[in-house]
Amino acid sequence: MVRPSQLLHPQRDPLPTRPAATVLLLRDTPQGPEVLMTRRSPTASFAPGAYVFPGGGIDALDADSHAIASRRPTQDDLRLTQAIAAIRESFEELGVLLARHADGRYADAADIAALDRHGPFAAQCKARGLTLAADQVFVLAHWITDRDLPRRFDVPFLVARMPEDQEPVADEAEQFEPLWIRPATALERYKARDFFMIFPTIRTLERLQKFASVDAVLRACATEQPLWTSCPRAGTLAGKEARYMEDDAPFGELALTCPDGQIVHALDWQSEQPVPLLKNVMRLTCGNPSVMTGPGTNTYIVGEPATGYLVIDPGPDDCAHLQRIVDATGGDIRLIACTHSHPDHSPGARPLQQLCATRPPIWGLSSGPASRADSRFTPDHELPDGHVLRLEAGGGVTHSLQAIHTPGHASNHACLVLLEDGLLFSGDHVLNGSTTIVSPPDGEMTAYLDSLDRLSRACDEHRIEFILPAHGHVLGFAKQAIAKLKAHRLQREAKVIAAMKSRPGGSTRDWVPLAYDDVPPAIWPIAERSLQAHVDRIRALNLA
């Protein structure tokens, strides 16, 4: 775990959350499902003027109303209370009543007219012989309001089918202008700046638009578990606030730099200035963006003025980039380490060394005999597996980086773990937003997968929470990211096996369109390298 002393900003406790419930009322149309939305009051204290789904806070009476609600056998007390709150809110705000008579008939216009929206909801339903249809309300998602906001809620987004023969009527106090809208249409209007929505609403609609019918939505929600859970994080992009969910590429970086939710971290890619990630870690991205390098190669600078600095992956022999490294460290570079010998990682090591008066030693692994001509590399010191590179100063200040040999992407690939802070510098073995190329003969797929397993074990051993890749933003949830990457590789391998079986006399060029049918054809020549690595592994292990 990251040492609190290395965090960039003073820590604060986010405001507590209050329980709430929101319900997406759905109906089928020939064009696909529609969802009921309303516009919040322009004077509302939360999301004024936004188009939302009906909902609100859970109160004590919701938990006391279980006796007049129907429930599924798998619906626990918490889910039942949330469903009751959602039913109550949809009635109070829109006059929609998810309740049934003893004979199974849904409440009708006469029932709704007989109830006072401002009166005690459960008591009125009981007096009229109505049972709340909580068994027909399912959990879709779980949202926790962002840590930076002044009002915070812990809220399930529930789904239910709109009762037939009911029409929504807004209360004209909290909610206005109820309308039925297809998720895709709402998102198009939002992009056209004609339909203001807040982040959770937008992301929920993005996922909802993939379903072809209301039944499909309800089937997906039958497990009683949310399809996703999120407490978003925010940073700045092009000078504006930008929010992200856990599976978005910038989320881990925001969790590392601003763990309690301050909106102070800029996510724009640039090559002019180092980006502080912790007090003892900076990232300087080389100006070499491309299909292969993404926004550019990340050089990481570990240390502080008292200890001097260790530079990881100086990048290509780019004079401007190397000078920026020197400027960022004040020239006090004690060690240089290269994760592997590819041309966007190691060629800058020797010129950087020459720029430093102290001539810091270069650590790494020599390139293998099968490496390409542009990947030849010989360090000053071979980096043994498990070896620790240290920066030290008086008062017990230490930054220790332990090497983990991770062949696969390259035969001489190694990762580094900043032991005191639980950070994994993954080179090209784990990337953010893409999978790395495994290109035989220097790259080897079984070794790559075995190295992923080794990194997963290291996450447990060193309490690693964040991965700092050579391309892309910091990754959070380190062990889960590694597991997801391995699963992706094995799923791709299954497609390669299927392609080989469907065209047994084919070549890798024949198999690429089948195994990589989910990526643009322009990427196929690059993907063919990894496909060859899969083929070599499949044949060696007799998997096909």
Residues 185-210 pLDDT 10s: 999 999 999 999 999 999 999 999 99
Please give the residue range of the domain that contains residue 526.
491-540
pLDDT band at 544 (very low <50, low <70, confident <90, very high): confident
What's the pLDDT at 429? 98
Domain count for the chain, please give it: 4
Question: Going by C-beta distance under 8 Å and a sequence separation of 6 or more, which residues neighbour residue 529?
Answer: 437, 438, 439, 440, 443
pLDDT at residue 90 is higher than 90:
yes
Average pLDDT over residues 466-485: 98
Whether 455 and 308 share a structural domain: yes
Q: Looking at residue 41, what is its pLDDT?
A: 86
Give the pLDDT of residue 185. Answer: 97
What's this model's pTM, rounded to 2 decimal places? 0.93
**62 and 98 assigned to the same domain:** yes
Percent of the chain with pLDDT over 70: 100
Contact 534, 543 (CB under 8 A): no
Of 202, 231, 260, the residue at which a domain comes to its end is 231
User: Could you tell me the two tokens for 107?
Assistant: 């409440």
**Could you tell me which residues come within 8 angstroms of residue 165 by beta carbon, excluding any fewer than 6 positions away?**
106, 108, 109
Last residue of a domain, one of 456, 482, 508: 482
Structure letter (DSSP) for residue 87: H
In the 8-state DSSP scheme, what is residue 118?
T
199-208 vs 183-191: helix crossing angle, rounded to 10: 140
- Could you tell me if 394 and 476 lie in one domain? yes
* Residue 11 maps to a domain: no
| pLDDT, average across residues 403-429 | 98
Reported as a pLDDT band with limits 50, 70 and 90, residue 242 is very high
Task: Kindly report the number of other CB atoms within 10 A of residue 24's CB atom.
Answer: 26
Section 480-493 average pLDDT: 97
The confidence score (pLDDT) of residue 394 equals: 81
CB 324 within 8 A of CB 297: no
Q: Are residues 297 and 219 in the same domain?
A: no
Domain final residue, candidates 460, 482, 504: 482
- Provide mean pLDDT across the span 409-432: 98
Q: Find the mean pLDDT for residues 466-483.
A: 98
How far apart are the C-alpha atoms of 85 and 57, rounded to whole Å? 8
Burial class (CB in 10 A: 0-12, 13-18, 19+), 410: buried
Q: What is the DSSP string of 458-516?
A: HHHHHT--EEEESSSSPBSSHHHHHHHHHHHHHHHHHHHHHHHHHSTT--HHHHHHHHT
Please check whether residue 392 lies inside any domain of the structure: yes
Report yes or no on 1 lying in a domain.
no
Residue 53 lies in a domain: yes
- pLDDT bin (cut points 50, 70, 90) of residue 173 is confident
Of the candidates 416, 422, 420, 404, the residue with the CA atom closest to the CA atom of residue 469:
416
Q: Is residue 247 part of a domain?
A: yes
- Rounded to an integer, the average pLDDT of 488-496 is 97
- What's the pLDDT score for residue 46? 78
Averaged over 406-421, what is the pLDDT? 98
CATH code for the domain of 438: 3.60.15.10
Residue with tokens 């030849």: 376
Residues 128 and 219 in one domain: yes
Q: Are residues 411 and 288 in the same domain?
A: yes
Q: pLDDT tens across 374-407, in order?
A: 899 999 999 999 999 999 998 888 999 999 999 9
Instruction: Say which amino acid occupies 498.
Output: A
Please give the span between the terminal C-alpha atoms of the chain, in angstroms, as a whole number.
42
Mean pLDDT is lowest, of 41-45, 252-256, 468-472, for 41-45
Task: Look at residue 226 and tell me whether its pLDDT is greater than 80.
Answer: yes
Say which CATH number the domain at 24 has: 3.90.79.10
Of the CA atoms within 13 Å of residue 455, those in its CB half-sphere come to 36
Residue 320 lies in a domain: yes
| Same structural domain, 71 and 44 | yes
373 lies in some domain: yes
pLDDT at 44: 80
Same domain? For 25 and 87 the reply is yes
Same domain, 77 and 34: yes
Question: Per-residue pLDDT tens for 208-223?
Answer: 999 999 999 999 999 9
User: Of 154, 110, 141, whose CA–CA distance to 128 is shortest?
Assistant: 110
> In the predicted model, what is the mean pLDDT of residues 349-377?
95
Residues 75 and 89 in one domain: yes
Is residue 19 scored above 90 in pLDDT? yes
335-347: pLDDT as tens digits = 999 999 999 999 9
pLDDT value at residue 395:
82
- Over residues 65-91, mean pLDDT: 96
* pLDDT at position 115: 94
Under DSSP, is residue 399 helix (H, G, I), strand (E, B) or coil?
Answer: strand
Helix 524-540 to helix 508-515 angle, to the nearest 10 degrees? 100
- Computed over every residue of the chain, the mean pLDDT equals 96
Q: Which token pair is 132?
A: 């709340």
Mean pLDDT of 235-256: 97
Same domain, 187 and 311: no
Residue 255 domain-assigned?
yes
- Residue the block writes with tokens 């392609």: 499
Are 361 and 452 part of one and the same domain?
A: yes
What pLDDT band is residue 542 in, cutting at 50, 70 and 90? very high
